[in-house]
Amino acid sequence: MDYRVVGKSFQRVDAVDKVTGKAKYTGDFFERDMLIGKVLRSPYAHARIKKIDVSKAKSLPGVEAVLTYENVPHNKFATAGHPYALDPKKRDVADRTILADKARYVGDEIAAVVAVDELTAEEALKLIDVEYEVLEPVLTPEDALKPGAPLVHEDRKDNVLSSFGYEIGNVEETFKDCDYVFEDEFETSIVQHCHMETHVAYAYVDGNGRIVVVTSTQIPHIVRRVVGQALGIPWGKVRVIKPYIGGGFGNKQDIVLEPLVAAMTLAVGGRPVKLEHSREESMVASRTRHSFKFKIKTGVTKEGKLVATHIRAISNTGAYASHGHSIASSAGTKFRPLYNFKAIKYDPVTVYTNLPVAGAMRGYGAPQIHYALECHIENIARKLNMDPIEFRKQNFAGVGFQDPISGVRTYTCGLKECVERGKELVNWTAKKAKYAKQTGDKRRGVGMACFSYLSGTHPVSIEIAGARIVLNQDGSIQLQIGATEIGQGSDTVFAQIAAETIGIRMDQVHVISTQDTDITPFDTGSYASRQTYVTGMAVKKAAEEVKAKILDFTWGMTDIPASALDIKDSNIIYKHNGEIVMPLEEVAMRTYYDVVHAKPITSDTSNNARVNAPSFGVTFAEVEVDIKTGKIDVIEIYNVHDAGTILNPQLAEGQVHGGVSMGLGYALSEQLLIDEKTGKVLNNNLLDYKLPTIMDTPEIGVDFVETNEPTSAYGVKSLGEPPVISVAPAIRNAVLDATGVAFNQIPMNPQRVFEKFKEAGLI
């Protein structure tokens, strides 16, 4: 394909703004008379509020308002950043109110203060007297599922949010046709996104009585809807603005601060109020990744053909639904394009506990299930005495697969090539031989794991995206999109799609990075690795419309039929020989100022993507294990992806670096630790929560096997979340290779490795 803009490593459109500090984030805006909001948090995992006395807090000079469940609206709302569903049965569980009379985890919001500054607000929090009736908490999913367990939400009589699963074929019957049936159990931990910029928002009431919320969010249009729902006001009375954002990873695909900060401004007559999470609050009171427990049972033939699998999963959603069962459902969906099973049964259950709330996080259930599945597959290959790579390869579903439930078809799949590439990169064969018989205190091994993912949420949710283009007098354009740039580079890639499609230079595209629900075209936001796939098509459609209008206008000016014209490097050219007819600028000027025909060219386009495309990839890792200290070092790591066409190689590589880094932490060190008795998070800061630093990160090798997906603009498939998915199982399989010890729980931190090595007699 001969592209001029697409496929090239153009500098990020926000690069200069960000590195020079000119980029303004939510916390950089100052409104006159801005007040500060602070939240009083529950010290108990489960307690009923019997009485709150705010009189002392209210009388503290500088305190403007104190909010409790008694003086805020009681409308129930759901916080998950999903598109609204007209069908009530498909809506997220609405189990929140702005403030409640019950605390459901340590850190739950009990009351809030608005004051002239942070210190006064904090002082006021100490003056609020709360009388609690302390209730017995449920701190594990197992305890929550016991008959008669205390109820996190009274209207959920069994603490079960949902147990909706599926069965494809008949698993029990199919097991009978298998030569072997293998069973394994796996467990993943609660981890946190740790985006650099914590949740922050401020709100005020404008002169027309509308609430304006400026917030660090991935989903401005959804925020608008939920603030409206929570306050019980028409959605049009809310305006949401999203400036630059310092990372989200799914944690900002959720409504965390906005209804409360909106209630705060209403409580002080519309004065601006800012609410910002400290890191300690962010670690506990935003969202986390669901921890899962899996039991997997898989039947295979003696030739090594995967036939049937039965996956049982317990997902711990914490105190409120947030994305709830959608995570378990997504987990059960996204691995299906990977292997060819005749029968699959998926039995998930998502359980409430009195723990911090789990929500969306990069991969959305896929890292959990792929950890389990790819460790399980490795175990099976070893038990069958088969090469784990060949075993996987002969079971790949590949091109032609059609998902029996969603109907999504695999038109493109470069997975086999990805595996071959990765195998070469890590020097698999030589290392396998070299590390076959080791005895020392430091042992090395290689491992790999594969994944499949989807590009967006179709057919589960509506996939609607908007783009707007305005052609300027000089032939440049403004590009507005509803999908949010959250660091992943979508604005740059959208600019490339627009430039390529219209035929203008990259420097002729001005992307408006800020989303403002009053101005921005409708788009549900950035999540599900949907932007280039879903919104990219909206941009392409808008650009095609602009191009067609330009050529039509030129036809009117020149009498050369539009069909004979094209645009290249911001010039109108003859299609047949490339000769320049006139600069685009000349046409653009006419569209504004021609005394008869002036009609500035714009497009306002929406794309409702009723398609989806599986993307694929593999991680290869080499580790060195210090047997005596339990420390695992990743020596080499490679991610090879089939993400369709790569629109911007450098940005794509950056995306993979970030995902692999997150996967390294997931595999080796990260875990939110909970006090078993009180439910309190023990490591609510970045010292004690072991997010890896750059010093813990090996050189990350990245490669792509490009395919040309027919259902998207320029052949793209998802790449936002996928890089994190297969990292942890690849490292686990490498550790197994090095030591013979099979870990079935992450993170594999030194303490846990030590215990397991003792058990295995290595220490």
Partner 1 sequence: MYNLGNYYEAKTVDEAISLLAENPNLKIIAGGTDVLVKMHGGKLEKAELLSIHGISSLRNIKVLEDGTISIGPLATFTQIANDSNIKKYIPILAEASESMGGPQIRNVATIGGNVCNGATSADSASSLFVLNAKLRLQSLKNERIVPIEEFYLGPGKVDLRPGEILTEIIIDKKDYSGFSGKYIKFAMRNAMDIATLGVAVLCKFENNVFDEVRIGLGVAAPTPIRCKEAETYAENQNINPATITEIGKLAVKSAKARTSWRASKEYREHLIKELTGRALKEAIVRGGGVEIA
Nearer to partner 1, 398 or 692 (CB): 692
Q: Which is nearer to partner 1, 124 or 528 (CB)?
A: 124
SS3 assignment, position 59: helix
In the chain, the amino acid numbered 425 is: L
26 vs 749, beta carbon nearer partner 1: 749
Of 555 and 754, CB closest to partner 1: 754
CA-to-CA separations, 618 to 422, 598, 688, in angstroms, rounded = 7, 54, 31
Q: For partner 1, how many residues bind (rule: CB under 8 A)?
A: 27
Tell me: does residue 43 bind partner 1 (CB under 8 A): no
Question: Is 687 near partner 1 (CB under 8 A)?
Answer: yes
Amino acid, res. 742: A
Closer residue to partner 1 in complex, CB, 170/751: 751
CB of 171 to partner 1, least distance (A): 40
Tokens 């914490």 correspond to what residue? 318
Is there binding between residue 21 and partner 1 (CB under 8 A)? no
Nearer to partner 1 by Cβ, of 548 and 686: the residue is 686
The pairs formed by 203-206 with CB atoms below 8 angstroms and a separation of 24 or more are 203/258, 203/261, 203/262, 203/264, 203/265, 203/272, 203/273, 204/31, 204/265, 204/270, 204/271, 204/272, 204/273, 205/265, 205/266, 205/269, 205/270, 206/239, 206/270
Contact flag: residue 690 with partner 1 (CB under 8 A): yes
Enumerate the β-bridge partners of residue 451: 617
60 sits near partner 1 (criterion: CB under 8 A) = no
Q: Min. distance of Cβ 673 from partner 1 in angstroms?
A: 6
Q: Which residues contact 564 (CB under 8 A, 6 or more apart)?
A: 574, 575, 576
Using CB under 8 A, which of the segments 228-236, 373-381, 453-461, 678-686 binds partner 1?
A: 678-686
State the nearest-atom distance from the C-beta of 665 to partner 1, in Å: 10
If the CB atoms of residues 123 and 258 are measured against partner 1, the closer one turns out to be 123
Alpha-carbon distance of 37 to 261, in angstroms, equals 7
Q: Any contact of residue 693 with partner 1 (CB under 8 A)?
A: yes
Residue choice 17, 31, 101, 118 for contact with partner 1 (CB under 8 A): 118
Q: Which of 602, 696, 698, 744 binds partner 1 (CB under 8 A)?
A: 696
Instruction: Tell me if the bond preceding 459 is cis, omega within 30° of 0.
Output: yes
Query: Cα separation of 662 and 363, whole Å?
Result: 11
The smaller minimum CB distance to partner 1, of residues 542 and 753, is found at 753
Q: Shortest distance, CB of residue 692 to partner 1, whole angstroms?
A: 7
The answer to the question of residue 617 lying near partner 1 (CB under 8 A) is: no
Answer yes or no whether residue 745 interacts with partner 1 by CB under 8 A.
Answer: no
Torsion sign (Cα): 535, 327, 299, 436: positive
For residue 222, the one-letter residue type is: I
695 touching partner 1, by CB under 8 A: yes
- Closer to partner 1 by Cβ: residue 125 or 233: 125
* Beta carbon nearer to partner 1, 86 or 687: 687
Helix 366-383 and helix 727-739, axial crossing angle in degrees, nearest 10: 30
Between residues 163 and 629, which has the closer beta carbon with respect to partner 1?
629
Q: How far is the CB of 761 from partner 1 (least distance, A)?
A: 14
CA dihedral 349, 351, 357, 361 (to 10 degrees): -10
Considering the complex, what minimum distance in angstroms separates the CB of residue 622 from partner 1? 18
x-marked contacts with partner 1 along 64-103 as a string, rule CB under 8 A: ----------------------------------------
- Closer residue to partner 1 (CB): 34 or 673: 673
- Which of residues 97 and 629 has its CB atom nearest to partner 1 in the complex? 629
For residue 93, what is the DSSP state? P
CB-based contact 333:408 (threshold 8 Å)? no
Which of 673, 698, 708, 745 touches partner 1 (CB under 8 A)?
Answer: 673
Alpha-carbon gap, residue 544 to 550, rounded angstroms: 10
Nearest-approach distance from CB 118 to partner 1, in angstroms: 4
Radius of gyration from C-alpha coordinates of the chain: 27
Residue with tokens 């089939």: 642
Q: Quick one: how far is CA 570 from the chain centroid?
A: 36
**Amino acid, single-letter form, for residue 49:** I
Distance between CA atoms of 721 and 74, rounded to whole angstroms? 35
Binding window for partner 1 (CB under 8 A); candidates: 5-13, 64-72, 315-323, 668-676: 668-676
- Which residues, 6 or more positions from 392, have their beta carbon under 8 angstroms from its beta carbon? 339, 377, 381, 419, 450
The answer to whether the beta carbons of residues 131 and 49 sit under 8 Å apart is: yes
Decide if 63 contacts 115 (C-beta within 8 A).
yes
Considering only 17, 122, 143, 167, the residue that binds partner 1 (CB under 8 A) is 122
DSSP secondary structure code for residue 86 in this structure: S
Give least dist CB 677 to partner 1, A: 12
CB 306 within 8 A of CB 343: no
3-state secondary structure 203-243: EEECCCCCEEEEECCCCHHHHHHHHHHHHCCCHHHEEEEEC
Residue type present at position 395: N
- If binding is defined by CB under 8 A, does position 682 make contact with partner 1? yes
Of 438 and 629, nearer to partner 1 (C-beta) is 629
Per CB under 8 A, does 235 bind partner 1? no
210 binds partner 1 (CB under 8 A): no
750 is an interface residue for partner 1 by CB under 8 A: yes
Q: How far is the CB of 687 from partner 1 (least distance, A)?
A: 6
Near partner 1 by CB under 8 A: residue from 9, 75, 629, 650: 629
The residue assigned the tokens 């209008």 is: 549
- The yes or no reply on residue 657 touching partner 1 (CB under 8 A) is no
Dihedral sign of CA atoms 100, 101, 106, 110 in order: positive
Interface with partner 1 includes 439 (CB under 8 A)?
no
Q: Which residue stretch of 143-151, 583-591, 640-648, 748-756 sits at the interface with partner 1 (rule: CB under 8 A)?
A: 748-756
Options 50, 173, 751, 760; binder of partner 1; rule CB under 8 A: 751
Helix (H, G, I), strand (E, B) or coil at 456: coil
C-alpha dihedral, 212 to 70 to 102 to 50, nearest 10°: 160
CA angle 620/370/640 to nearest 5° reads 30
Answer yes or no whether residue 669 interacts with partner 1 by CB under 8 A. Answer: yes
Toward partner 1, which CB reaches closer, 136 or 675? 675
Binding of partner 1 by 119 (CB under 8 A): yes
Length of the chain (residues): 763
Pick the stretch among 183-191, 202-210, 582-590, 625-633 that binds partner 1 (CB under 8 A).
625-633
Least Å from the CB of residue 628 to partner 1: 5
Of 634, 619, 631, 589, nearest in space to 753 by CA: 631
Q: Contact residues for partner 1 (CB under 8 A)? A: 117-119, 122, 628-630, 669, 673, 675, 682-683, 686-688, 690, 692-696, 749-751, 754-755, 763
